[in-house]
Amino acid sequence: MLTGIAETALRHALPALAGHRDDGRPPLRSASACRRCAARHGQRTPVPAHVPAHQRACRRHRTWLGLAIQIDITPAPDITAASRKASRLAREHGITRLVLAETTARQDAIAGPHARRRATALALASPGLDPGHPDTAEAAAYPETIKIAAVFLRTPDALPDGPG
């Protein structure tokens, strides 16, 4: 109402903000496109993009697509492997259930020792990267997050019922 634009028009223009959709398309999230992918097409400034909700990294360029920063994850190949596993889990269980499982698993994974060590390794490999930054912490915890999420997805009644 505040914008003066019809809700239907906003949902069409901003699909990541549309919430649950019944049109068969996968859930999306707003992110900045991989800066290296954008540079290949001559774009030097951040490019807003709608990506599948479970997609956290550009596997081609080994770049974590954080909310605020993009992180070179080349020094942590297990993050790229976890991204491939997340794609398989999304195909098997659906993106919505995977994102729910990830959200449920993330807090435990971020607090773990593997994530802290990986965050430090990422920061050492990328001068100026803060190992305590939320995007760094999420990227560093991602392999454990996906492992825990996979267990949730395989365990009946481990997750609350939600949309398909």
Q: Which amino acid is at 155?
A: T
Whether 35 contacts 49, CB under 8 Å: no
pLDDT of the residue at 79: 96
Q: State yes or no: pLDDT of 2 exceeds 60.
A: no
**Rounded-to-integer distance, Cα 66 and Cα 64, Å:** 6
Q: For 55-109, how does the pLDDT look when each residue is reduced to its tens digit (9 = 90+)?
A: 999 999 999 999 999 999 999 999 999 999 999 999 999 998 999 999 999 988 9
Q: State yes or no: pLDDT of 144 exceeds 80.
A: yes
- The reply to whether the predicted model has a pTM over 0.85 is no
Mean pLDDT of the chain: 86
**Rounded-to-integer distance, Cα 28 and Cα 3, Å:** 22
pLDDT > 90 in the chain, percent = 61
3-state secondary structure 61-97: CCEEECCCCEEECCCCHHHHHHHHHHHHHHHHHCHHH
Q: For 109-121, how does the pLDDT look when each residue is reduced to its tens digit (9 = 90+)?
A: 998 999 999 999 9
